[in-house]
Chains A and B, each alone.
Chain A
Amino acid sequence: MNILFIRSIEGRILAGITMFVGMMILVGWVAINEEARMQAFVQQHTGRSIERGAELFASLCSECHGEEGYGAGDRAPGLNNPHLFGYDPVGIQTAAVTNANRALVRLNKDMASLLEEMTDTENPPSEERQNEIVAAIAAVEERIEEQNLAIDAAVAERISILETLNTAVENDLYPLWDTVVDIEQTGDNELEVFFNSNGTRLAQVGWGGDLHGYIVTTLIHGRPGSARVYPNGTGMAAWSQTAGGPLRQDQIEDLAAYILNWDKGEAWTMEDFIAVAQYGKPLADGSLPSEPPPPPAGDNVAGILLRWELEEIVGSAVSGELLYDQEFGCTDCHRDGASAPDTIGTATRIRNERLTLPQFSGYTIEQYIIESITRPGDYVVDGYSSGLMPVNFGARMTDQQLADIVAYLLTQ
């Protein structure tokens, strides 16, 4: 080892300088390649962000928006969706007609001026010029013919698209329209009127920003009123922690990256359009249902218990299980005890462990369950994080639904 201790002073100076220069060369070499490395990292990170988004989507969103993003017509719209990404099949054909019409106007103008020059009696064109004008008129006529053909093709295409859409309406893929409409060549029908102002999702909702902003905002804050359009869905919840949901900002971004990865750009087709559940079912006249829905249970535990007694509400474990597993998706978290206590053994654990705690003296097991559902923040079991369970279940379920779930949990 002592050979490392170079005994001659010039040897040490030389070795030291070599090392310093070597280090500078290495760092310089790294610096030259940094641009490429950083770009590669960004790409790789975007890929992994999409992977994490896919994971979140499968576990949290696929229930309503569909595993492959095609949506469930009565619960939530599809997101693997040309309409969302700005593909407007009717609009494309309408634009084609408009463009062709504009070209026609220009061509007609050209034609008029050519004819004017030809027929000018004061300054009659030379023979040479006359030949030129005749050739030009022939060319313009040819182009007018081309544009007319383009208009015919676009109109025909539009009709075929509208017919396809109509078939979809017939097959109840578009619950928005109850009846099949007549498609006329004038194009002035209900479907087309709709598409003229609702060609893309962003236009439909009047969104001022870009698609990424629209998706992120919807993920963060949820969508008030979606429960009205999707009577069988639970409404788009607020998913971000900033709005009371369970997800961090980086997870919201992951989800947005995943959803945006469905974009096919120019390659969207009518088949994609038809494959997706586009719209929910608005009520016939767009108003609230005549029969007001039963009021939500709320979070006043004593009040709930009292009402149950007065109204003789009895829970059913069978419908409770359905509500628990599907309607409210409780098992998404309460499944293996990793992020929330396991569903299995709920009643036993409450009886043997929780109710023995001093703060629950005098509680009945029902009371404990009701409180846990409607006011989840009041007590969090050791080992689990607070703030994870949504606080709005009390506002989302009726007394009867709550009673059913309690009955179900008592059997667990």
Chain B
Amino acid sequence: MTILPFPSFLDDVKEKGFKKAVFEGIDDSVERLTAGLNVQDLREAFRGEAASRRPNPRLTPHADGFWLHMRPSYFNRDVTGMYPTFRLGWLSSYFVFFETITGILLMLWYTPSPEIAYGDMLTILSNVPLGQLMRDMHRLGAEFMVAVVAMHMMRTWITGSYKKPRQFTWFTGLLLLVITGFLSFSGYLLPWDQLSLWAVTIGASMAEATPVVGEQVNLLLRGAPELGANGLLRFYLLHVLALPALLFVFFGVHYYKVVIHGHSLPPQKENIGEDTAKRVPLDKRVYFIPDMLTYEMMWLGATTFIITVLCIWFYHAPLENHADPQVTPLGTTAPWYFLWIQGALKLGDKFFWGVAFPTIALGGLALLPYLDVTPSRRYAHRRFMLTLACLLISVSTILSYMGLAKFAVQTSAETEIVHELTFEPAHSKVGIGRTIPFDQMIVGAYTTAQLHYPDEMSVSDAIAAINAEVAANGQYEQMITELKDQHVGANQLPLRFRAIPAAEAPTLMRVMEEFAHHLEAEPKELPNVWGALVITDNQAGLKRLDWVVSWDSVLIEAGHVQLDDNGDPILIYSDQVDAEGNPIPARRIYSDHLFIHEASAYFD
């Protein structure tokens, strides 16, 4: 015997022999770890056999274990298929954990300070193995999570699952939707690039319209009138601390309610006014162990696999230039899930559409189970609510579309066109002007006017004619003055237009065609227009591309071109006259430029 107060493994070996003692020891440990299932039980469960001992050991983990006591021990077969849940609730929970894990990994490399944050992003991309993948996954997961949670809500609406006794479950779900939106929104700011700064500036400024408290709330949120060091720190703390804490609390409440009330059955499976979710007949029971467990492990693998594939080949989290409060990018929008508010804001009053309308909408949603108290969940009996659901989906889609920059925002055509050709990479898109391969950026001045000359005329004749024309009417001189103003080196200024070298530089040719095509599309705002691209050498491996638009100026009021009775734009004339004494339209010129370095690889 031993002096220890409990029998030792050695005693076991003496008593039963080595092999038996080891096997029993393992069996015992497995039973402790699984809170009730020994090796034989697990073996049976995962072979799809019935449990060989009574009472059923597969229920013990639900009674005795910590993790599984939160999960029901069996489900109704009617809710384990695609319909009616579409696994949206499960997916929402999946993303909560997925985002937590990827988020914690990213936190290791992140400092919430305007001086450092953007550099940290570059470090994650340039010096952290798998850093880019983690960032892409976290970002894509966040976008998915918002979408999945919103779809989960619409599904609950459509199947009428918010009805008694699940009114409060619906309410906590709505809170989770709002928290998810704000989680995603607060994370938007953290990379501290132009995209995040301006999307959040626009989003946060919506709150400003609230009477009395709007300004204070905004000040609290940003820590200063402008987003800066304090604002970034506060958004960071919201993102990693306050909002996740709230999310986990309400996630607990929400799921507890789901388990207490059971998953609501497809409407046609129960009698009207009844809720039989908790009374599952024996032949309909699908046990968590082993069926639901293997389902969930499979989905876990499948979902993560899909996200990995997407992040390797199809999606990269955008990172624009360093945030700059002085430079407002063209076409800034709020994140897509707040676009509906931005769209609504274009309808009129900032307070009504920016604050009152979303509040009423969310308030209406929160009260939905208490307003719709009809007992039936059958689709045929709920035509009004289903119509309302469709209406909600349509209205939010339309409002989101209206929130896009291209809807009802006045930007002059020339700015828009040049921006379209030159914008920096964002959301896997880049202005086509940046995609010209470096060796195709052949130094010279090229004009879109060349493309409008008839085919039977040789290119060199056409260029000669154009050069003669723009030299005579002073438009070339005007362009050179503009280029000088934009600090093009005096030695670099081109003397005349050259033919576009279509053979050596096919991409350059395509860009010029695109340029011409855009300009042609605006005959009213840009009459007699020509565009030019002036390529100059700047440094070794660095070219400068100046985009010039030259056109007859027209009368524009409140963003609209003024037309005369014939439908032609009204031109503005200069005080000069031509040889026949006719007034000459004032010529306007616009230019913007970009530099392209050989290694920037926009063209890959």
Contact = CB atoms under 8 A, between A and B. Distances in A.
A397 B551 CA distance: 40
B80 A9 contact: no
B197 interface: no
Given A248-B322, A261-B541, A385-B326, A19 B302 contact: yes
B542 A50 contact: yes
Interface string B280-302: 00000000001100110110111
Interface stretch (A10-18, A178-186, A223-231, A282-290): A10-18
A46 to B, nearest CB: 6
B48 A46 contact: no
Contact of B322 (A44, A54, A250): A250
Nearest to B539: A261
A12 B294 contact: yes
A62 B491 CA distance: 14
A12 B126 contact: no
Interface stretch (B60-68, B114-122, B209-217): B114-122
Contact of A58 (B48, B297, B486): B486
Interface string A1-31: 1101110111011011111101100110011
Nearest to B434: A51
B248 interface: no
B200 to A, nearest CB: 16
A411 B598 CA distance: 47
Contacts of A37: 132
A273 interface: no
Interface string B97-133: 0000000000000000001001100100111011011
B325 interface: yes
B542 A38 contact: no
Interface size class of A (residues with CB under 8 A): 35 or more
B487 A67 contact: yes
A26 B309 contact: yes
A189 interface: no
Nearest to B488: A67
A45 B130 contact: no
Nearest to B313: A26
A212 interface: no
A343 interface: no
A339 B301 contact: no
Interface string A95-133: 000000000000000000000000000000000000000
Contact of A27 (B125, B130, B291, B322): B130
Contacts of B598: 47
Contacts of A4: 82
Contact of A19 (B80, B295, B304, B542): B304
Contact of A5 (B82, B127, B544): B82
B295 A51 contact: no
A319 B127 CA distance: 54
Contact of B295 (A5, A43, A52, A54): A5
A143 interface: no
Contact of A34 (B118, B130, B326): B130
Contact of A339 (B80, B312, B327, B490): B327
A410 interface: no
Interface stretch (B169-177, B249-257, B466-474, B589-597): B589-597
Contacts of A58: 486-487, 544, 593
B300 A16 contact: yes
A357 interface: no
Residue of A38, A46, A251 contacting most chain B CB atoms (<10 Å):
A38
B328 interface: yes
Contacts of A62: 487
B599 interface: yes
A20 B301 contact: yes
A59 interface: yes
B488 A15 contact: no
B309 A47 contact: no
A338 interface: yes
Interface size class of B (residues with CB under 8 A): 35 or more
Contacts of A250: 118-119, 322
A9 B305 contact: no
A12 B491 contact: no
Contact of B600 (A5, A18, A51, A63): A51
A339 B81 contact: no
Contacts of B596: 51
A261 to B, nearest CB: 5
A258 B595 CA distance: 11
B487 A59 contact: yes
Nearest to B489: A67
B393 interface: no
B321 interface: yes
A146 interface: no
Contacts of B328: 338
Given A58-B486, A250-B118, A9 B294 contact: yes
Contact of A44 (B132, B226, B601): B601
Contacts of A23: 301, 304-305, 308
Interface in A247-300: 248-251, 258, 261-262, 264
A286 B80 CA distance: 91
B18 interface: no
B549 to A, nearest CB: 16
B435 to A, nearest CB: 14
B298 A6 contact: yes
Residue of B47, B328, B487, B491 contacting most chain A CB atoms (<10 Å):
B487
Contacts of A38: 125-127, 129
A34 B491 CA distance: 44
A193 interface: no
Contact of B297 (A16, A26, A27, A42): A16
Contacts of B491: 68
A58 B487 CA distance: 6
Interface string A44-82: 111110111011001100110011100000000000000
Contacts of A207: none
B118 to A, nearest CB: 7
Contacts of A47: 541, 597-601
A8 B601 CA distance: 50
Nearest to A16: B298
A26 B325 CA distance: 40
Contacts of B594: 51, 55
Interface in B506-547: 538-542, 544
A18 B300 CA distance: 12
A363 interface: no
A42 B126 contact: yes
B544 A385 contact: no
A25 to B, nearest CB: 10
A186 B542 CA distance: 44
B46 interface: yes
Contacts of B601: 40, 43-44, 47
B315 to A, nearest CB: 14
A54 to B, nearest CB: 4
B492 interface: yes
A386 B487 CA distance: 27
Contacts of A43: 599, 601
Nearest to A382: B225
Interface in B485-503: 486-492
B376 to A, nearest CB: 26
Nearest to A261: B539
A197 to B, nearest CB: 30
A174 B262 CA distance: 90
Contacts of A10: 47-48
26 contacts: A2-B82, A5-B80, A9-B47, A9-B294, A12-B294, A13-B298, A16-B297, A19-B301, A23-B308, A26-B305, A30-B312, A38-B129, A46-B597, A50-B541, A51-B542, A51-B594, A52-B321, A55-B594, A62-B487, A63-B487, A67-B490, A68-B538, A248-B324, A261-B540, A261-B542, A385-B325
Q: Nearest 6 CB-CB pairs, A to B?
A: A19-B301, A47-B599, A47-B597, A67-B489, A47-B600, A16-B298
Given A41-B132, A47-B598, 5 more contacts: A1-B82, A45-B126, A50-B541, A52-B321, A68-B538
